[in-house]
Amino acid sequence: MWRSARTFVLIAIMVMAGSLCGGMVQALVIPAGGPQLSAQAAVLIDARNADLLYEKNAFLQRDPASTTKIMTALLVIEHGHLNKIVTVSRRSDNTLGSSLHIHANHRYTRLDLLRGMLLRSGNDASVALAESEAGTMERFVAEMNRKAQELGAFNTSYENTHGLTRSGHYSSAYDLALITRSALRLPVFREIVRSQQMDITEVSRHRTHTIRNTNQLLYGFLGADGVKTGTTDAAGHCLVASATRDHRQLIAVVLNSGRRWSDAGRLLEWGFTATKTLKAVSPLQTIVHRKVMRTRKPDLAIGIESHQALWVDVGVHDSITKYVRVPKTLDAPIYRNSAIGWVTVESPIQPPVRAALYPDRTVRPRFHPKRWWPHLGASLDTGECLQPGAD
């Protein structure tokens, strides 16, 4: 859509399943003046509804480095039992790369290992967690890959729990944003990744030390509340970042960035100032009224399901348009849990969003004696007694 007062750039995005094949096409219109980034790939999404606000090579498969650990943490937290004591194996102790400096036969709770993995980016902690959950890292990695498919992260494949470079280990900026959005729904994950520092304790020796978060945005960017850094020679400097302002949380991903802190900060700042989220439809909100034929209470309220709201992202100066498709008149019976139409919301910068519409109650047809008179006469002729409402 072109407007004289405000220019928009139309970007056609192919969401790929696998490597550059298949998938669905999604149109995204980015307000002019989007941030210029040094990152080779980047994406910005709204955490509430996963609306795509900005993208740069967001669907290309790339080395994710230690942002891999977001998926590791997601699975560990979902499995629970975070107070369980884990004995560090020799394999964990010998893991290369960034380290929490845990040693074989030392003992930590899963929660403390999570803290060390997410704040200090301990590769050794990620292996210890995987072994405590699945017995071996390889079995845990298989679970990571199943979870990625479940979340729709189709350009992601894992070979380890920590992100050290290995053939067949890759993700994309968009997939990392989806995975992070799911992880941020978990209170334990949110609490850890927003913390500047935490204490962890080696259980056997009762030794406690403090670790600091490697995410520098937490120390100065307004509203920053996560998430994870990553660095390898193959991946370059990577960052998955989140920030919340006025109850709106955005997730930014920058991969292979020359200036990851400023790239992520610029992307988040742009998202908060150039776009906004509107509640298009509220739970329990009546969208339309319709007349129902053959019933004692003909007026029927119709809206979306009571447990959800419909949120849409738009440019800061834009508005939305709603279209409702429901028959002009309805015939009973009508059932509360059966959709009878839909509402479509159009935004200048997002693909249309559609939600099913439901009646606010079940409506049964009114009983008309005249309609039953022929059946009643037939039943008298045969000596049968036909109850109202029977077939």
Tell me which of 66, 157, 171, 182 is the catalytic residue. 66
CA distances from 304 to 58, 92, 246, 337, 368 (A): 32, 50, 25, 11, 32
User: What letter would DSSP give residue 216?
Assistant: G
CB count in 10 Å sphere of residue 199: 10
Distance CA 214, CA 69 (A): 13
Q: How many whole angstroms separate alpha carbon 70 and alpha carbon 162?
A: 9
Which member of 121, 172, 257, 347 is catalytic? 121
Decide if 121 is catalytic: yes
Length of the chain counted residue by residue: 391
Of 304, 300, 298, the C-alpha closest to 339 is 304
> In terms of Cα–Cα distance, which of 293, 292, 294 is closest to 366?
294
Helix axes 110-119, 69-79, angle to 10 degrees: 160
Q: For 299-318, b where at least 16 C-beta lie within 10 A, e where not — what string?
A: ebebbbeeeebbbbbbbeeb
- The verdict on whether omega for the bond into residue 227 sits within 30 degrees of 0, i.e. cis, is yes
> Which of 189, 224, 186, 177 shows the shortest CA–CA distance to 64?
177
Catalytic residues: 66, 69, 121
